Amino acid sequence: MGGAGVLKQSTMQRHLYEAGLGKKQMKRYAEKRETSSRRFCRPHRMELLQGDIKYGPDIRTTDGELIKTYLSSLIDDHSRYIVQSEFYDNQRQEIVEDTFHKAVLKAGKFDCAYLDHGVQYTASHLGKACAKLGIRIVHAKPGACQSKGKIEKFHQKVDQFIAEIRVAHVHSVKELNSRWKVFLEQEYQKEAHAGIREYYESYGAKVPACGITPEQEWMRDARGLIFT
pLDDT of residue 211: 97
Q: 164-180 b/e with 16+ CB inside 10 Å = b? A: ebeeeebeebeebbeeb
**200-215 pLDDT per residue, tens:** 999 899 999 999 999 9
d(CA 16, CA 19): 5
In this prediction, residues 74-91 reach a mean pLDDT of 97
Q: How confident is the model over 28-37, as a mean pLDDT?
A: 45
| pLDDT, tens digit, 9 for 90 and up, residues 127-155 | 999 999 999 999 988 765 556 789 999 99
What share of the chain has pLDDT > 70, as a percent? 81
Q: Kindly give, in sequence order, each residue whose CB lies less than 8 Å from that of residue 131, ignoring residues fewer than 6 positions away.
A: none
**% of residues, the chain, pLDDT over 90:** 72
Q: Is 23 helix (H, G, I), strand (E, B) or coil?
A: helix
pLDDT above 60 for 75: yes
State residue 28's pLDDT score.
53
Mean pLDDT of 161-179: 95
How far CA 93 is from CA of 99, 192, 227, in Å, comes to 10, 33, 24
Strand partners, 86: 72
pLDDT the model gives residue 117: 87
pLDDT value for 16: 57
